[in-house]
Chains A and B, each alone.
Chain A
Amino acid sequence: MSEIKVTINGKEYTGKSGQSILEFAGVNGIEIPNLCHDPRLIPSGSCRLCLVEVEGQKGPVCACTFQINPGMVVKTETEEIRAIRKTVLELLFYEHRGVCTTCDENGDCKLQRYAYEYQLSDDIFQQPTGGERSENYTTGNKALEYDVDKCIRCGRCIRICEEVQADSALTFKSRAASVEVTTSFDIPLNDSTCELCGQCISSCPTGALYERAAKGKGQCKDLSRTRTTCPYCGVGCQIDLNINPKTEGIVRVTSEVGCIPNDGNLCVKGRFGLDFIDSDKRLTDPLIKRDGKFEKVTWEEAIKFVAERLNRIRSEFGADSIAGLSSAKCTNEDNYVFQKFIRACIGTNNVDHCARLCHASTVAGLARAFGSGAMTNSIDELKNAGCIFVIGSNTTEAHPVIGLYVKEAVMKNGAELVVADPRKIDLVRFAKLYIAQKPGTDVALINAMMNVIIDEDLHDKAFIEERTEDFEKLKPILKDFTPEKAEAITTVPAEKIRAAARMYAKAETASIIYSMGITQHTTGTENVLSLANLAMLTGNIGKASAGVNPLRGQNNVQGACDLGALPNVYPGYQSVEDAELQAKFESAWGQKLSAQKGLTVIEIMHAIEEDKIKALYIMGENPALSDPNLNRTRKALEKVDFLVSQEIFLSETAEYADVVLPTVCFAEKDGTFTNTERRVQRVRKAVAPPGQARSDWEIICEVATKMGYPMSYEDAEEIMDEIATVTPIYGGMSFERIDSVGLQWPCPDKEHPGTRFLHEGTFKRGKGKFHPVEFTAADELPDKKYPFVLSTGRQLYQFHTGTMTRKSAVINQVSPTGYVEIHTDDAAGLKIRDGENVEVITRRGKVTTPAKVTDNIEKGWLFMPFHFREAPANMLTNDALDPTAKIPEYKVCAAAVSKTRQPD
């Protein structure tokens, strides 16, 4: 892009070719009025309000569609232009009915602003028509409300739904004066292709589209906004909590166009899933269980009770009889303090968290291959990738906003998308090639792809030579792994495997995206190693828009790992078994530390059975619903001598606890989360906590102090400063530096700008290492008694155990309960009708849930989301572990399904 000089209103500015006049003027602080423009959209030039004068052009031109060129002379505020704009506005008010005094958008409405600026007369405001016209596609919908009277037909809602969200749920219907926005055939919004992302609301320039629940709760002009980070998935969208200072309640959630990483876009959870914050089910007081019943106690009593019990257990059974589960939902500061408490105060390395259940295999696999177990690239690099290979990630549902970048790459930039997933997930719509591999056969698929790449000489010899080692060890394994051999294992036609291999290998830049479909297997680490092999083989690593990108599930699972909530490493992945590092932390924390690595999540549960773990301290996790083989987990929770749960709700797990300590949620505290692209971002306090609830790190500090290891911090910022001193990858982090935009680690010092993508020039471990991987089958395969393969996973509307999402009225409307997906033919064979209750049975348990009959799953396979306590998929899942990473095999187990016998 070359530089261009353009004169606006008599002053010269420099811009880039390809910019529109509107964009260019905006960058230089000159505002041109506009209504149909949104930087996220292709300019449509339909409202005609942005007219400007360009020297040499006959009439006025639309600034939003007209591109700048060298020497251009633009006038934006001539009398003539202003007169035309005024007429345009007056015409709009023939369509717009309604008055600002009662409109929620008051204060944030462009139409209102321009009406004032252009001094339209008062009688231009018409009374709303009401009556029949108020029935529309949003009638009865709990998320959105469309008010046709306030609609100016700019089409932004329709365009953003099509161009950005790629859902095309909306359209204009009819013509002339009766034009209005609607869904296809006017069906209710929730029956359409809508995903309730609310992008349409975010783009609407008037009050025509609004969050239904926010109506009447405070006008925009009176709301204050606090920028913070979404508490759900690892994308780490920046959200603005809009607070009404009078009621101190959160009225709506918005996001600023242009913000990183989500550019003003959100998904249904971030925009509509925050009702839980002021739910009346929040815990407000510390509770101690006496005679099987919880009793409210004071903080003093609770802390004393916990400290004394823990001290007693430690002196009787030793420090290793105590374990802690930290939390991927909590802040970096909470996690740091928690693991420090377990290591320095209790004196054991028995600390882990739910990353064990999602990406332990990533951390283990990528660390071996590259030296660092995180997403190699940045989210926004995806949109420029030549090829994207999505395997075992239902991106649009589990990481919706990253899904938008993938769609953009395909729709706008022509990327080739290859999707490999046992289910026909939504991304398949955009894929050039779709592969439905049998669950648990990924290694076979990837090995065969590499076989093709070598066979057809598509590998990057220079890269392999310069940057990697052990390529020689890889070759023999691949030699006989032909696509035909893989076809027999994966059921994917050999030709498709060849096509996928070519597409991936031939692209200039190819990005791999993967998630739980790869990691949650007994072969999880091997699956990850295979992907690392594939990337190194083609030189697709260490550069922009390429790489190996595990999408992290929780808002702060990256941070919890980074800050050492793992049994084998201190903060910053520094090994507890390394004497030098141990000494470093001993001096930093002023305490002797254990040199022995601790137990992992599932091992802790099993150690309880063996009487080796006597006390378990859980911060913000819900293993009673999230762990595999729940019957076994729940028995362990019942058995353990002393269980502490720090929670925002009385979760399934908290119910087993001896002591429950009420904590504040993300909206009530300061701190940081680290998103999946290693970006450390601020979490800011926006509202007051309920009752006596306190922040996690404060509670931990008090318990530690009471136990005899004094811990105290002024605020979260002080904790981050301590983190920076002991954690090299966070060395340059500070609240000040990440205030407006986060910073991506590694960021070793205060001058370092952060790292967009990893392994440039050299790998963290020096050379990238190939690991030959043989295919091994899943732990439990279908047989006569259990003929189906059952997989579990997430769904767009819910998050994990539903503790938070299921408090949202909007979400309950679209996703009221669980289900099991079954193929149409299998259902027919078993005489199961759509929506009918069925029993799903495995060797570990039985669950009754409605059947969802679909063609989006292959024959012989079943799928269940795991969010629902009334249909807990994890009663069924297998707790067999990956030997290296100790991650359980959530994605494959053998199951039977049958109609529920109805009692007559």
Chain B
Amino acid sequence: MDLKEGSLSLEPLDNILASIPDAGDCDLIPILQKIQEAYGYLPPSVLAATSDRTGIAASRIYGVATFYEQFYLEPHGRHTIKCCRGTACHVKSGRDIIRAISRALGVQEGETTDDMRFTFETVACLGTCFLAPVMMVNDDYYGHLAPNKVKDILERYD
């Protein structure tokens, strides 16, 4: 991982830190949220710079950034698809839904579309097995899915 180079501008970071004078450990979560807002994700080079500028240990920042599901260390789409690959969904041909999403977006699980519209993730169980097979887009649930419905649903998000 290259933590020094990188063409990313640190100006947004400086603005964020300017708004939080004497930032310390307890400001870390709001800082990370703002960085994610500004950059769309948490670029490691920006986090390293955050450590340099605030004195908050880089290891601490990394620990927090990887602990919370809300934070992304890689570029992330505007919308997040979470498709279930749990047992109940699997039994109800959940695999086909995963394949349909892949085809519709041209990306594999864990990837983000080039236009930054979607990040496609799969999860172990969404906790709504009675709706199997299920996927979520942002906070919306789509249950009893069929592969041919996928494309229409995704078109609602831009």
Contact = CB atoms under 8 A, between A and B. Distances in A.
A187 B63 contact: no
B interface, by DSSP: helix, strand, loop or mixed? helix
Given A184-B51, A185-B47, A170 B59 contact: yes
A172 interface: yes
A170 B57 CA distance: 9
Nearest to A180: B66
Contacts of B59: 158, 168-171, 183-184, 192-193
A175 B1 contact: no
Most A Cβ at <10 Å: residue of B1, B59, B67: B59
Contacts of A172: 63, 67
A434 B61 CA distance: 27
A173 B71 CA distance: 13
Given A185-B1, A185-B48, A187-B3, A162 B57 contact: yes
Interface size of A as a range = 10 to 19
A186 B47 CA distance: 13
Interface in B59-115: 59-63, 66-67, 69
A429 B51 CA distance: 13
B154 to A, nearest CB: 28
A174 interface: yes
Given A168-B59, A168-B60, A187 B66 contact: no
Interface string A163-206: 00000111111110000001111110000110000000000000
A175 B67 contact: yes
B67 A185 contact: no
Contacts of A168: 57-60
A431 to B, nearest CB: 13
A158 B59 CA distance: 9
Contacts of B60: 168, 171
Contact of A174 (B1, B47, B48, B67): B67
A184 B46 CA distance: 13
A174 B66 contact: yes
A193 B67 CA distance: 21
A185 B57 contact: no
B44 interface: yes
Contacts of A169: 59
Contacts of A186: 1
Contacts of B3: 185, 187
Interface string A429-445: 10000000000000000
Contacts, number: 51
Nearest to A173: B66
Nearest to B51: A184
Contacts of B44: 185
B73 to A, nearest CB: 8
Contacts of B66: 173-175
Contacts of B58: 168, 184-185, 192-193
Contacts of A174: 66-67
Nearest to A184: B58
Nearest to B73: A185
Interface string B1-28: 1010000000000000000000000000
A416 to B, nearest CB: 18
A165 B3 CA distance: 24
A185 B46 CA distance: 12
A171 B25 CA distance: 14
Contacts of A193: 57-59
Contacts of A192: 58-59
Most B Cβ at <10 Å: residue of A158, A173, A182, A183: A173
B64 to A, nearest CB: 8
B133 to A, nearest CB: 24
Contacts of B63: 171-173
A173 B61 CA distance: 10
A175 B1 CA distance: 21
A714 B47 CA distance: 64
B41 to A, nearest CB: 14
Contacts of A184: 47-48, 51, 57-59, 61-62
B67 A187 contact: no
A171 B69 CA distance: 17
Nearest to A179: B67
Nearest to A169: B59
Nearest to A194: B59
A348 to B, nearest CB: 57
Contacts of B69: 175
B56 to A, nearest CB: 9
Contacts of A170: 59
A157 to B, nearest CB: 11
A102 to B, nearest CB: 31
Interface string A117-145: 00000000000000000000000000000
B117 to A, nearest CB: 27
A54 B109 CA distance: 52
Nearest to B58: A184
Nearest to B65: A173
Contacts of A175: 66-67, 69
19 contacts: A168-B57, A171-B57, A171-B60, A171-B62, A172-B63, A172-B67, A174-B66, A175-B66, A182-B62, A184-B47, A184-B61, A185-B1, A185-B47, A185-B48, A187-B3, A192-B58, A193-B57, A193-B58, A193-B59
Nearest 4 A/B pairs, CB to CB: A171-B63, A168-B57, A184-B58, A171-B59
Given A172-B67, A184-B47, A185-B58, 19 more contacts: A158-B59, A168-B58, A170-B59, A171-B59, A171-B60, A171-B63, A172-B63, A173-B66, A174-B66, A174-B67, A184-B48, A184-B51, A184-B59, A184-B61, A185-B1, A185-B47, A185-B48, A187-B3, A192-B58
